[in-house]
């Protein structure tokens, strides 16, 4: 298995964008399950955890150059995932409505059907 430090360095400073993307793809393959598992543990919802994981990897790709120690990638990614989860939970949620309100829909015309 390729060393983590090497993959992170390639993802940050490889010669071409395609090489950086390929190296980051190897990081995603290696840490996707960990990131999703953590997001699911935080959020308790499978679909939200998928969204948070995807957001986290996009943020991580953008900010990977700021990681000082390549070996710290797993812990750093975990913080990025946590931040993505926090962003999802801070979004405004629609106010809950009682189920009875769904049955009180006004008819468009005089005909009850």
- Where do the domains of the chain lie? 4-91
- Treating both helix axes as pointing N-terminal to C-terminal, what angle do 17-43 and 46-63 enclose, rounded to 10 degrees? 140
Model pLDDT for residues 8-64, shown as the tens digit of each residue: 998 988 889 999 999 999 999 999 999 999 999 999 999 999 999 999 999 999 999
Output the CA–CA distances (angstroms, integers) from residue 52 to 25, 28, 59, 82, 104, in the order listed: 17, 14, 10, 8, 36
* Cα–Cα distance, 60 to 57 (Å, whole number): 5
3-state secondary structure of 71: helix
| CATH number listed for the domain at residues 4-91 | 1.10.1740.10
Model pLDDT for residues 72-105, shown as the tens digit of each residue: 999 999 999 999 999 988 876 666 777 776 666 6
3-state secondary structure of 43: helix
């Amino acid at each position: 298995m390729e060393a983590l430090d090497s993959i992170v360095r390639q993802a940050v400073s490889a010669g071409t964008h395609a090489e950086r993307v390929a190296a980051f793809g190897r990081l995603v393959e290696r840490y996707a399950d960990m990131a999703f598992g953590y997001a699911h543990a935080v959020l308790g919802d499978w679909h939200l955890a998928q969204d948070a994981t995807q957001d986290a990897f996009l943020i991580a790709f953008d900010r990977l150059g700021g990681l000082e120690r390549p070996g710290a990638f797993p812990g750093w990614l975990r913080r990025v995932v946590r931040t993505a989860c926090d962003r999802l939970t801070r979004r405004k949620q629609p106010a809950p409505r009682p189920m009875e309100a769904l049955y009180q829909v006004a008819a468009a015309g005089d005909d009850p059907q």
